[in-house]
Structure 1
Amino acid sequence: MIDEERTPVTVLGLGSMGRALAEALLAAGYPTTVWNRSAERAAPLVAAGAAQQLAIADAVAASPVIISVLTTFEATRTALADTGTALRGRTLITLNSGNPTDAREFADWAAARGARFLAGAIKNVPAAVGDPGTLLYFGGERALFEESTPLLRVFGGDLVHLGPEPDLAALYESAVGTTLLPTLLGFLEGAAVLAARGLPASSMVPYSAKWLEMIASLLPVLAEEIDNRDYTRLGSSVALFHGAIDDDRRLGAEAGVDMSWHEPMHDLLERAVAEGRGGQSITALVELLGQR
């Protein structure tokens, strides 16, 4: 049972996020044990009151709740491989990257070792750990999530249980995360275009922020069109984006900016137009992406 009696917790992995989680636990009064391959990373946390274990088996044995913030499910499994029966009867919570297949395989691995398991993701930066608006979502046993809620609320105030399947956090992490790299590349490309005119990237930040707010406001409409397969409401048609392909290429040539990363998107638009979807909303591209 995880409750407000400040159950001892072990944190595995002291990168920026692991360190932030351990700091939040200490600030909330939880007895906290830490472990990291590079032992010296624990020094500031030990100075703040954490206990350090150099052997991971000892770190696991120190607490009934283990929070792993190692990079992937495979990294966590590898690190825990030599802990013997230490996981039996303990709660293991992962907050790492990984795909749904890895999450399911890890859940089976943890169950075989007698651990109760929640797989989660924290959707904010380390500096925002503990903020009321910081989102964490989890897949796994509902009862375990509810038992863990007082502890998890130390890390963020917006807690969501996605369902009993242990791969759901990884699934949503993968689905939501697909927007990150294209968005960053778009910003970097814009910065390169401005740099070609001697203008700083900082000059477009206010406008980019407004643009992203506008896109965020459209997400419910996009989702409704996709879920209902009614590609008529948005107003931004496939043809509109298709007609801008030449402008994209001319801008790249004029600014001397490599825009080759656009070509797969252009190809998708060309295919949609060839299928007679030019008059449909841009959401119709989901049909070409294999959604159906």
Structure 2
Amino acid sequence: MGSENRAPVTVVGLGSMGSALANAFLEKGHPTTVWNRSPEKAEALVAKGAVSAATVAEAIAASKLVVVCVLDYRAMREIVDSLGDAPAGRVIVNLTSGTPEEARQTAAWAAERGVGYLDGAIMATPPMIGSEHALIFYGGPKAVYDEHASALASIAGAGTYLGEDAGLPSLYDVALLGMMWTTWSGFMHSLALVGSEKVKAESFLPFAQLWFEHVVAPEIPKIAEQVDRGTYPDGGSALGMQAVAVEHLVDATRAQNVDVALPEFLLDRAERAIKQGHAGDGFAAIYEVLRKPQS
């Protein structure tokens, strides 16, 4: 693909993700300049047509759009601060992992230096970058995002702008990762339970998949709707009744000599929700406990 109508891009940081980002820009025809503290990491990209800058100043001078993917926010700020005066007219898209507060602080830091800034969170593995399955969240000034959305589409078919708040991408990131980890942990706890009686995971798997597909997953949109409304209809299975079943889970877990921390956590939150008056509500009423820190 020719690069005549493709905006130049600079990629700073060539770890596995940064290299994947640079490679995607190259494949979509963007003149791509790269820089990394260890120059040898640029060699494969140079062989594909990238330009390896000798210094970070040279790299940032090469393109208006600068995509940064380094170890952390402090490393990103140190790199840009090392340039002295902010490069005129540059836009930094920071795809470094961090917290929402770090993202907001870095957005303020960039504004003080007159640098256009978008914060992003990558919800993909390096091999997915550049495909329609890659998802990247962005936050920051809409005008900045709109100006560079076409170029950014080269690294993720599902680039999603979340709004002016630079912290939202990181918040979505940790929220989705938390959902993933807790789901996996719940499944592994189930495997530990049946495994205590020498049941193989592959034997239990078909039933877990059917249960998730037909019972667990269909409830997720309903829970989201209930949370937004702030009402939690019981659906024929009130929390007070379900808490008894959760207590059975705790007892069975202990009897099978399996780690009891996960079901005990669940039982504690269910009991706290009941004490707050939600015994007759549905299971989603536990949200009212989870959304506030324990006093």
SS at match of 2:240: helix
Question: Per the alignment, do residues 252 and 102 of structure 1 end up closer, same or farther by CA in structure 2, a change over 3 Å counting?
Answer: same
CA distance in 1: counterparts of 2:191 and 2:20, whole angstroms = 31
Q: Is the Cα–Cα contact under 8 Å of residues 250 and 264 in structure 2 kept in the other structure? A: no
- Report the alpha carbon displacement of residue 203 of structure 1 after superposing the two structures with TM: 4.5
**What are the residue-to-residue correspondences of 1:1-292 with 2, within 5 Å?**
5-214=5-214, 215-232=216-233, 234-290=235-291
> Matches of 1:236 and 1:130 in 2, distance apart?
45
* Counterpart Cα distance in 1 of 2:32 and 2:205: 40
Q: Which TM-score applies when normalising by structure 1?
A: 0.86
Identical residues among aligned pairs (%): 36
| Pairwise CA distance, 1:255 | 4.1
**Aligned letter for 2:34?**
V
Separation (CA, whole Å) in 1 of partners of 2:157 and 2:208: 28
CA positional deviation for 1:92: 0.6
How many aligned positions are there? 290
Q: Does the CA-based 8 Å contact 1:61-1:86 persist in structure 2?
A: no
For the residue of structure 1 that corresponds to 2:67, the secondary structure is strand
Q: Structure 1 residues 58, 255: closer, same or farther in 2, change over 3 A?
A: farther
Structure 1, residues 125-181: CA drift from partner, whole Å, max 9, x if none?
222222224322211111221121211111222232211222221232233333122
The 1:183/1:172 distance shift into structure 2, 3 A limit, reads same
Question: How much has 1:114 moved relative to structure 2?
Answer: 2.0
| Residues 213 and 56 of structure 1: CA distance in aligned 2, closer, same or farther (over 3 Å) | farther
Sort the Cα spacing of 1:254 and 1:51 in 2 relative to 1 into closer, same or farther, 3 A.
Answer: farther
SS across alignment from 2:278: coil
Gaps of 5+ in 1: none
Given that 2:86 and 2:115 are in contact with CA atoms closer than 8 Å, whether structure 1 keeps it comes out as: no
TM-aligned CA deviation for residue 8 of structure 1: 1.6
Consecutive unaligned residues in structure 2, runs of 5 or more: none
Inter-partner Cα distance in structure 1 for 2:202 and 2:75: 38
Deviation at 1:43, TM superposition (A): 2.8
2:8 is matched by which residue type in structure 1? P
Give the TM-score normalised by structure 2. 0.86
SS in 1 for 2:156: coil
In structure 2, the CA distance between the partners of 1:290 and 1:191, relative to structure 1 (3 Å rule), is closer
**Is the 1:89–1:116 Cα contact (8 Å) retained in structure 2?**
yes
Structure 2 Cα separation of the partners of residues 80 and 175 of structure 1: 29
Contact 1:222 1:234 in 2 (8 A): no
Deviation at 1:284, TM superposition (A): 1.1
Alignment CA distance shift 1:41-1:290 (3 Å):
same
